[in-house]
Structure 1
Amino acid sequence: MEDSFERDRKARQKRFLDKFWEDSPHALDLLKGHLLIEEVLEEVIASACRLPATMYEAKMNFFNKVKLAQAICGEAIPAWRCAERLNVARNELAHGRNDSVLLEKIDSFIAVTRQGYSDGTWGDDRQHNLEIAVIVVHAALSRVAADRMRA
């Protein structure tokens, strides 16, 4: 007879294998987009630092980097809100357990980006629009970083 510990262990193992091998078409775009946009945020922050290397020791999270970069720039551009929504979607991917909630967060990121930057090549496909949203936000923040570097 199987005890409760053994049943729980088998359930955890099954959940791990199910989640690990689950096809997640949006995961790679979310993770890569989050990482690459975070690098641009760090460029903006570093542009205001006398000792930029020290900034990396601070171990700020993505949300704090968005807010600090926004405070440094003082510009009211849609990319800040878009980056916040991207972070919410990425956090849902990393910590959430409900795929429908993840899709809602992705759709929210796409919607706010599409609202702020209507000139993208938007379509009806979620995957395509996620890729466009990441590209558009990265480009907008890259312009901010470049302007800061020239200043």
Structure 2
Amino acid sequence: MENEPRGLLISPIRDGTVIDHISAGAALTVLRMLDITGQTDEELSIATNVTSMTSGHEGKKDIVKVSNRELSKEEVDRIALISPHATINIIRDYIVVEKKGVEIPKFLSGIIRCTNAGCITNDNEPIKSAFEVTEEGLHCLYCDTVITTNPENHII
């Protein structure tokens, strides 16, 4: 392994956001949650199932780099739902000027839709969805539906 070539998998970005330590295989879900598609203007770099050495523990992770865009708090909250160990790095002139972990908020408003088709928030009413984050999942404050978590404790 010591003769194994080392190099950058993804080139650096001048300005924008790097989302690191995304749960392996979740990068495309993160892009969907950020409304980034192949038909939007963002320049993207994506690496999936990259070897990660975190605290001496080897595992896999995804990385997303988005040029010329800094994420809003609501967008970071969405990422926390699918990848609670992700880190957000703000890049300006090729330098990391801010690095922070994501935190799952106690309440979410207008970020995701209720899965109950009969919920008032899905009935063309001018009402934003509202959820309380619990250990069981997301509890809709309007209809009491609970959106459960998958085995890795990520909201689905």
| Alignment TM-score, normalising by the size of structure 2 | 0.28
More helix by share: 1
Q: Which has the higher contact order (CA 8 A, sep 6+)?
A: 1
More strand by share: 2
| Alignment TM-score, normalising by the size of structure 1 | 0.28
